[in-house]
């Protein structure tokens, strides 16, 4: 539901003094109350400095053009100090190609890019379609079930297992490691310390190291481990760098797609007129997929660190400052996207969104994500399935992954 500034409560964070406004609070993403705060920043202070937060001081970019300007300027705004608002303790830091600049970034990225190249995606489409059909056929009829668990996670985790050539029976480990990797340790939670997080991710590294040792002694083939094991750019990685790249690839292939799969069903329920459009004209599927990805914005932000003094939106940003690009806000910028707070599957320039980022770090797997969503909706429409949302979604408490833990659904027999 659209959240307008004037609807905010008097004690809400979207009407407190700008100097005290911290849009990084995970609870606001979990209870879906963040929208008015971003609307206020876009209107009053698009390049906003937050002096005090649990993550230290940081700049918020909330307008489309400012985000693109920073995202495409990797020389002035570096990813080498991390890509999330969280500053990971030095002893738990892992390197990966998203945290690198040229030329090393391109060398490592290009090592794994063939797996999501056009030729391989063409080969993968029939596999994805058969899996989607099997998943949909296996869903209960006339009984409520959790769409996140039975569809979103299952489809994306099967795909991840294929990309890594990971033992299929253990594929849910990939989901678990992804969830651990993107979470920030918090007292009272399952992962309550950086040491515990490190212990679990060390188990991930051990498992993949066994796979690496198998692949490096066999002929190269088209899976992510083999590609890295046989490439001069990656075969000599230190264990921490191998783990960093594993986390990057697992999270990139898991969280973004699975939460867009969930968001798509939710939005079609919230906007039944758009679902009717799609049902009456299935050729709109590709357009609908782009709108789902914009409206969901599965990665809420990316962070950069100023490598030099710069001016953004008229504000002086100093070298060393933390700069957070709120993709989730830029995707609702009505200066660029007309009627941005509404879900419209046949809007003009539907691919003009920020969800995949821009510049040298633009999402490597974006075409695979779109393919999985497209096939899913083609199969839902082709089978004539009436999938109804029958309860409120449960969102996760994260300012990085904009996602869900549950979405109750039912299919009529």
pLDDT tens figures, 283-297 = 999 999 999 999 999
b or e along 47-82 (b: 16 or more beta carbons within 10 Å of the residue's beta carbon)?
bbebeebebeebbbbbbbebbbbbbebbebbbbebb
Q: What is the tens place of the pLDDT at every residue in 37-83? A: 999 999 999 999 999 999 999 999 999 999 999 999 999 999 999 99
pLDDT of 5 > 80? The answer is: no
pLDDT at 364 over 60: yes
pLDDT at 10 over 70: no
**Whether pLDDT at 100 is above 60:** yes
Comparison of pLDDT for 186 and 198, the residue scoring more: 198
For residues 299-327, give the mean pLDDT.
Answer: 98
Per-residue pLDDT at 311: 97
Confidence of residue 190 (pLDDT cuts 50, 70, 90): confident
The tens digit of pLDDT for each residue in 138-148 reads 999 999 999 99
Q: How confident is the model at residue 14 (pLDDT cuts 50, 70, 90)?
A: low
Please answer whether residues 282 and 381 qualify as being in contact, where contact means their C-beta atoms are separated by less than 8 angstroms: yes
Give me the mean pLDDT over the 401-409 stretch: 97
pLDDT band at 16 (very low <50, low <70, confident <90, very high): confident
CB 195 within 8 A of CB 97: no
pLDDT > 90 in the chain, percent:
91
Give yes or no for residue 84 having a pLDDT over 50. yes
> Looking at residue 255, what is its pLDDT?
80
CB atoms within 10 A of CB 2: 11
For residue 186, the model assigns a pLDDT of: 86
Tokens of residue 159, six digits? 């795909």
What does the pLDDT read at residue 9?
43
> Residue 370 has what pLDDT?
97
CA distance 102 to 82: 16
Look at residues 17, 132, 114, 66 and name the one whose alpha carbon lies nearest to residue 336.
Answer: 66
Report helix, strand or coil for 23.
coil
Q: What is the mean pLDDT of residues 154-175?
A: 96
Angle at the Cα of 325 (from 319 to 108), degrees rounded to 5?
Answer: 80
- Enter the pTM of the model: 0.94
Average pLDDT over residues 238-261: 93
Element (H, E) at 44: helix 35-44
CA 145 to chain centre: 24
Residue 324 DSSP SS3: strand
Contacts of 299 (CB under 8 A, 6+ apart): 255, 256, 327, 355, 357, 400, 401, 402
Runs of H (alpha helix) within 183-317: 194-215, 224-230, 239-270, 272-280, 285-296
* Bridging pattern class, strands 310-312 and 387-389: unpaired
Which residue has better confidence, 189 or 242? Answer: 242
Nearest to 305 by CA among 99, 102, 106, 54: 99
Query: How much is the mean pLDDT over the chain?
Result: 94
Q: How confident is the model at residue 6 (pLDDT cuts 50, 70, 90)?
A: very low
In this predicted structure, what is the pLDDT of residue 412?
A: 86
Supply the pLDDT for residue 315.
97
Q: Which of 124-138, 153-167, 186-200, 263-277 has the lowest mean pLDDT?
A: 186-200
pLDDT at 12: 66
pLDDT band for position 359 (cuts 50, 70, 90): very high
- pLDDT > 50? residue 4: no
Q: Which phi and psi (to 5°) does residue 49 adopt?
A: -100, 125
């Amino acid at each position: 539901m659209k959240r307008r500034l004037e609807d905010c409560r008097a004690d809400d964070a979207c009407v407190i003094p700008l100097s005290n406004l911290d849009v990084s609070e995970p609870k606001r993403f979990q209870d879906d109350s963040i929208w008015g705060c971003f609307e206020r920043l876009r209107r009053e202070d698009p390049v906003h400095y937050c002096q005090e937060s649990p993550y230290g001081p940081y700049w918020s970019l909330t307008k489309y053009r400012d985000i693109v300007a920073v995202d495409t300027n990797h020389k002035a705004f570096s990813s080498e100090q991390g890509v999330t608002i969280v500053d990971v303790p030095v002893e738990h830091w892992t390197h990966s190609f998203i945290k690198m600049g040229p030329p090393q970034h391109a060398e490592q990225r290009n090592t794994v890019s063939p797996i999501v190249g056009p030729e391989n995606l063409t080969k993968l489409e029939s596999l994805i379609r058969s899996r989607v059909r099997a998943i949909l056929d296996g869903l209960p009829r006339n009984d409520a079930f959790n769409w996140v668990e039975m569809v979103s996670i299952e489809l994306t985790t099967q795909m991840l297992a294929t990309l890594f050539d990971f033992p299929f029976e253990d594929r849910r480990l990939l989901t678990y490691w992804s969830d651990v990797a993107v979470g920030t340790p918090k007292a009272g939670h399952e992962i309550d310390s950086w040491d515990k997080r490190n212990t679990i991710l060390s188990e991930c590294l051990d498992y993949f190291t066994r796979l690496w040792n198998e692949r490096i002694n066999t002929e190269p083939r088209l899976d992510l481990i083999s590609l890295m094991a046989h490439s001069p750019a990656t075969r000599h990685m230190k264990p921490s760098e191998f783990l960093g790249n594993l986390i990057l690839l697992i999270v990139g292939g898991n969280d973004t797609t699975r939460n867009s799969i969930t968001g798509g069903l939710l939005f079609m329920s919230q906007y039944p007129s758009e679902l009717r459009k799609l049902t009456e004209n299935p050729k709109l599927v590709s357009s609908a997929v782009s709108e789902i990805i914009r409206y969901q914005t599965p990665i809420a932000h990316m962070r950069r660190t100023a490598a030099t003094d710069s001016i953004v939106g008229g504000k002086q940003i100093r070298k060393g400052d933390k700069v957070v690009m709120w993709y989730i806000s830029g995707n609702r910028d009505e200066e660029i996207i007309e009627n941005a707070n509404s879900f419209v599957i046949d809007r003009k320039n539907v691919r003009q969104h920020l969800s995949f980022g821009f510049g040298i770090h633009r999402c490597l797997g974006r075409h695979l994500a779109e393919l999985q969503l497209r096939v899913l909706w083609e199969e839902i429409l082709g089978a004539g399935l009436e999938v109804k949302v029958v309860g409120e979604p449960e969102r996760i408490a994260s300012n990085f992954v904009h996602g869900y833990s549950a979405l109750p659904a039912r299919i009529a027999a």
